[in-house]
Amino acid sequence: MNAEAPGVPTEAPTCYRHPGRETYVRCTRCDRYICPDCMRDAAVGHQCVECVREGHRDVRQPRTIFGGQVSATPVVTYTLIALNVLAYVAEVTSSRIVNEYAMLGVATDPFGIVHPGGVADGEWYRLITSAFLHSPPEASFGLAHIVFNMWALWAIGPQLEQVLGRWRFTSLYLLSALGGSVLLYLVDPAGAAVGASGAIFGLFGAFFVVAKRLRAPAGGIVFLLALNLVITFTVDGISWEGHVGGLIVGAALATGYAFLPPGRGDERRRTLLHAGATAGMLVLLAALVAIKTSQLAGITVI
């Protein structure tokens, strides 16, 4: 057994992160010496920065009923609004933006003759870029087009983003927009369209599904949806395909998010099921576009 020699001073302990600093305070979790710069207040005593960091990893992050992380700021909603506004400024500045990025299945002239261009000619990006463009000020709907869509996104987007979580909400929005473009491509490939309406109708459908899942009042969204459907089918110049396509995709995807798994499952299983539903919808829409493109491949192009 070792013993300290009488009269020899004992070396003072130092901080494990700062060896040159003397201290007599220990971390209550790992028992290592820590200096004032490394101390973090704990329920009892102090802990070192590493133990505090490790403790935070063990704390389970709060989740919504659909598996999304709880967030007070609707970052995705605000980002989407900003992107739509920036795209509108760009198209007002240059008329080429609409011509090059609007939804167009096949390009035709006034005589119905098909020309190179459109989704069928490999411009697949039009399926999604068109959802960030709107009618220019001189068009029939003018500013009302983007104003209504952005108002709707601002009104119901934050609520959906809060309950679904960011990645589910982003997927829902983009796939609803894609669904509207795909239905237009299937039904009227020569038709042209712009607008976030397909995505907005997808949010309408998702809001209804989420409300039913949470047993919350859904009368308001039903009235808003019915009113917009009446306008869709009675006002000339509106692409009903874009609206209906977005509505179908949004409602279907939200059903997957809201009811999968059917019972209380672990977080990993739920995330995998929701990711699978998202990927499945994307694959389905891509397959429909590929099939339609193959059907249009026989059209003579001059």
Catalytic residues: 197, 243
Question: Residue 33 phi/psi, 5° resolution?
Answer: -70, 140
Q: Which of 191, 192, 197 is nearest to 249 (CA)?
A: 197
- Nearest-angstrom CA–CA distance, 67 and 121: 40
User: What number of helices (H) and strands (E) belong to the chain?
Assistant: 10, 6
Residues 6+ away with beta carbon under 8 Å from 153: 77, 80, 81, 84, 196, 199, 200, 203
- Nearest-angstrom CA–CA distance, 144 and 160: 24
- Nearest-angstrom CA–CA distance, 32 and 12: 14
- Nearest-angstrom CA–CA distance, 171 and 169: 5
The tokens for 268 are 């990993």
- Nearest-angstrom CA–CA distance, 229 and 164: 25
The tokens for 229 are 């459907």
Per the CB < 8 A criterion, the answer to whether 136 and 92 are in contact is yes
Q: Which of 17, 53, 50 is nearest to 35 (CA)?
A: 17
The tokens for 243 are 């609206």
